[in-house]
Structure 1
Amino acid sequence: MSASFIVKEIFIYPIKSLAGITCEKAFAEEMGFENDRRWMLIDADNQMLTQREHRIMSQFYPQISDGKISITFQDHKHEFSIKEHLENSIKVNVWDDKSDVVEVNHATSKWFSEHLGFECKLVKIIKNGARKHESSRLKETFNVSLADGYPYLLIGSKSLDFLNEKLEEKITIKRFRPNIVISSEVPHEEDHFDTFSIGEVNFKNVKPCGRCIMVNNDPQNGKLKKEPLKTLSTYRAVDNSVLFGTNIVSLNSGTISVGDKVVV
Structure 2
Amino acid sequence: MTMKVTALYVYPIKALRGIKLKSAQISPQGLSHDRRFMLYEVRPSTGELKKIQLDSHPLCALFEQQIVHGPRDGEPNIIVRFIGSDPAQAVATNGEDNSLKVSLEPDTGSLERIDVVLHGSPASAYRMGDTYDVWFSQRLGVPTILVYLGDGRRAVLGKTLLPKPEQRQEGWVSSLTSYITGSQGAPSAKSTPWLTFSDVAPLLVASESSLREVRSRFSEGGRVEMYRFRPNIVVDGEGEDAWAEDFWAELAISPGDGDGAEKHVLQLTGNCVRCTSLNVDYETGRPAAGELGQILKKLMKDRRVDAGSKWSPVFGRYAFLDGRHADGFSVTVSVGDDAEVTRRNTERSIWDWPGL
TM class, shorter-length:
over 0.9
Equivalent residue of 1:249, what SS?
A: strand
Q: Letter of the aligned partner of 1:115 in structure 2? A: R
TM-score between both structures, scaled by the size of structure 2: 0.70
Separation of aligned partners in 1, 2:79 and 2:156: 29
2:295 corresponds to 1:228: yes
2:143 corresponds to 1:109: no
Q: How does 1:69-218 map to 2 (within 5 A)?
A: 69-74=78-83, 76-84=98-106, 85=108, 86-127=110-151, 130-138=153-161, 142-170=193-221, 171-184=224-237, 185-199=240-254, 200-218=263-281
Q: Shift in Å at residue 138 of structure 1?
A: 4.8
Query: Greater CA radius of gyration, 1 or 2?
Result: 2
Q: Shift in Å at residue 221 of structure 1?
A: 2.7
After superposition, give the CA deviation of every residue in 1:215-241 in whole Å (9 maximum; x if it has no partner): 111223323133211111111013222
Q: How does 1:243-258 map to 2 (within 5 A)?
A: 243-251=314-322, 252=325, 253-258=330-335
Separation of aligned partners in 1, 2:279 and 2:18: 16
Q: Shift in Å at residue 106 of structure 1?
A: 2.3
* Deviates most, 182-191 or 21-30: 182-191
Normalized per residue, the structure richer in strand is 1
Separation of aligned partners in 2, 1:243 and 1:142: 24
Normalized per residue, the structure richer in helix is 2
Q: Letter of the aligned partner of 1:135 in structure 2? A: G
How many correspondences in the alignment?
261
Consecutive aligned runs of 4 or more in structure 1 exceeding 4 Å deviation: 138-141
Separation of aligned partners in 2, 1:81 and 1:123: 12
Equivalent residue of 1:114, what SS?
A: helix
Q: Shift in Å at residue 144 of structure 1?
A: 0.9
Equivalent residue of 1:101, what SS?
A: strand
Q: Shift in Å at residue 103 of structure 1?
A: 1.3
Separation of aligned partners in 2, 1:241 and 1:118: 28
Q: In 2 relative to 1, CA 12–261 (structure 1 residues): closer, same or farther, beyond 3 Å?
A: same
Kindly, what percent of the aligned residue pairs are identical? 28
Separation of aligned partners in 2, 1:166 and 1:134: 35
After superposition, give the CA deviation of every residue in 1:152-211 in whole Å (9 maximum; x if it has no partner): 111111101011111123211111011111004300112211122213522100112100
Q: In 2 relative to 1, CA 260–136 (structure 1 residues): closer, same or farther, beyond 3 Å?
A: same
After superposition, give the CA deviation of every residue in 1:64-105 in whole Å (9 maximum; x if it has no partner): 111111100037111021122443221111011111110123
Alignment equivalent of 1:68, drawn from 77, 81, 84: 77
Note the aligned Cα RMSD (angstroms): 1.7
Q: Tell me which residue corresponds to 1:10.
A: 8
CA contact (8 A) 2:161 2:270 kept: no
Q: Shift in Å at residue 60 of structure 1?
A: 0.5
Q: Tell me which residue corresponds to 2:338.
A: 261
Separation of aligned partners in 2, 1:139 and 1:118: 36
Separation of aligned partners in 2, 1:241 and 1:221: 25
Separation of aligned partners in 2, 1:178 and 1:16: 12
Q: Letter of the aligned partner of 1:172 in structure 2? A: E
Q: Tell me which residue corresponds to 2:170.
A: none
Q: Shift in Å at residue 139 of structure 1?
A: 5.7
Separation of aligned partners in 2, 1:95 and 1:17: 14
Q: Shift in Å at residue 135 of structure 1?
A: 2.5
Separation of aligned partners in 2, 1:194 and 1:56: 35
Equivalent residue of 1:17, what SS?
A: coil
Equivalent residue of 1:113, what SS?
A: helix
After superposition, give the CA deviation of every residue in 1:12-70 in whole Å (9 maximum; x if it has no partner): 11111000000001111111111111100012223221112111011011101111111
